[in-house]
Amino acid sequence: MIRRSRLRASLGFMFSAAMLSAGVASLIASPYAALADSAPHTVTLQEDGATLVLTTHAPTVDALLAQRGIVLHADDYVYPAAAVPLSDGLAIEYRAATPVTIVRLGRPETVVSSAQTVADLLDEQQISLGINDVVTPGLDAAVPRDGIVRIVRLVTWQRRTERIVPHATLYRLDVSHPGRRAHVVRQGRSGLRVTITSFTQRDGGPIEKRVRTYLARAPHERIVDDALGPNGAYGELDRLALMRYGFIARSKVQMIATAYTAHCDGCSGRTAIGLPAGPGIVAVDPRVIPLGTRLYIRGYGFALAGDTGGDIRGNRVDLGFASYSAAMQFGRREVTVYTLK
């Protein structure tokens, strides 16, 4: 009896030990069994900009990345966290950290980052920008992988100068009022020319300069009408020369000039073109110089071919004077006659 009880006890102990061993073995093997027998999940993986839809038996985010041969490093970006279990519809984002060179004040520094934009990179590296700093590429641009981000300290300033542009004076020949003094038809107005000089300095280096000039206010020319005055005025006009009036000579001819006055016996005082005879009105042969032609006569001045005469034939011209004494003083001489355009 005693032996039988011991045998039963021994058998019971052996059975209990066997059951305990089986239970421990089952607990040890359970994680691998769970991995092998877990239900599949369909997830979305955004990997360095590429989006993939995957069906996997991996239980966690890091297990899924390991299946794809991705080894996580400290600077890599992964969301959600690596230990988060997978579930259907879970969106996972992964960016590998890569080297980026940041150049500040001409000094390069290489960092390893998984930042998505340049702004995120600078924030991650605790880099603050000044008001004169310019970043290339821009803050919203993607971080250039294995590339360069430049921060340039850009200082700019300008200098403005103004210069008065004097107005010109336009002299016009007025043939409709013989003997009248010169008078101003319109007052002139000076113009204004502005020069903007822009200066630029990058990172304390050489100063670059750019100059821009523009006409802020255009000048208005002064207009003066020079009338056909006495012969003395013609001498002055002769000295001032043709270019003062902007006339261009069409032709030049040598002629024999005589003088006349409007105050003579039998003279009507009116010319063939209807203007009063006198200074500035000359008689010509219309076959040589058409009536109405503007002339410049060396030693006499500006004139208008406005009359004819019985003795004025060929290269002859008769010049009007204000007085008999002035006409006699001029006499008869050879002159150069310019026809004007």
- Say how many C-beta atoms besides its own lie within 10 A of residue 256's C-beta: 14
**CA 148 centroid distance within chain:** 29
Give the pLDDT confidence score for residue 48 in this predicted structure.
Answer: 76
Polymer length of the chain = 341
Residue 172 and residue 245 in contact, taking contact as beta carbons nearer than 8 Å: yes
Measure the CA–CA gap between 311 and 316, rounded to whole angstroms: 8
Residue 193 and residue 213 in contact, taking contact as beta carbons nearer than 8 Å: yes
| Residues 96-109: tens digit of each pLDDT | 888 999 998 888 99
Mean residue pLDDT of the chain comes to 80
The CATH T-level fold of domain 241-340 is Barwin-like endoglucanases (2.40.40)
Which CATH number applies to 159-224: 1.10.1740.10, 2.60.40.420, 2.20.230.10, 2.40.50.100? 2.20.230.10
Give the pLDDT confidence score for residue 185 in this predicted structure.
Answer: 84
Residue 300 and residue 231 in contact, taking contact as beta carbons nearer than 8 Å: yes
Residue 59 and residue 86 in contact, taking contact as beta carbons nearer than 8 Å: yes
Say which range, 133-137, 154-158, 321-325, has the weakest mean pLDDT. 321-325
pLDDT band at 13; cut points 50, 70, 90:
very low
For 211, list phi and psi in degrees, rounded to 5.
-115, 130
Predicted TM-score (pTM) above 0.75: no
The CATH T-level fold of domain 98-156 is Ubiquitin-like (UB roll) (3.10.20)
CA angle 320, 322, 325 (to 5 degrees): 100
Residue 172 and residue 223 in contact, taking contact as beta carbons nearer than 8 Å: yes
pLDDT value at 260 more than 80: yes
For the domain 41-95, what is the CATH code? 3.10.20
For 237, list phi and psi in degrees, rounded to 5.
-60, -35
pLDDT band at 305; cut points 50, 70, 90:
very high
Please indicate whether the domains covering 159-224 and 241-340 agree at the CATH topology level. no
Residue of higher predicted confidence among 163 and 34 = 163
Measure the CA–CA gap between 113 and 75, rounded to whole angstroms: 6
Measure the CA–CA gap between 164 and 285, rounded to whole angstroms: 50
| Residues 168-215: tens digit of each pLDDT | 887 776 655 555 667 788 899 999 999 999 999 988 889 999 999 999
Can you tell me whether residue 275 is helix, strand or coil? coil
At 106, list the tokens: 């001409």
CA distances for 69 relative to 54, 63, 131, 269, 338, angstroms: 15, 10, 45, 118, 100
Q: Where are the beta strands (DSSP E) in 118-235?
A: 133-136, 148-165, 169-174, 183-186, 191-202, 207-217, 222-227
What are the sequence ranges of the domains in the chain?
Answer: 41-95, 98-156, 159-224, 241-340
Give pairs for 107-116: CB < 8 Å, separation 24+. Answer: 108/148, 112/75, 113/75, 113/143, 114/75, 114/76, 114/77, 115/143, 116/77, 116/142, 116/143
Give the pLDDT confidence score for residue 7 in this predicted structure.
Answer: 33
Residue 166 and residue 242 in contact, taking contact as beta carbons nearer than 8 Å: no
| Residues 212-241: tens digit of each pLDDT | 999 999 999 888 876 654 443 444 444 445
Q: What is the mean pLDDT of residues 29-48?
A: 67
Q: Where are the beta strands (DSSP E) in 80-176?
A: 91-95, 98-104, 107-113, 133-136, 148-165, 169-174
Give the pLDDT confidence score for residue 25 in this predicted structure.
Answer: 42
pLDDT band at 90; cut points 50, 70, 90:
very high
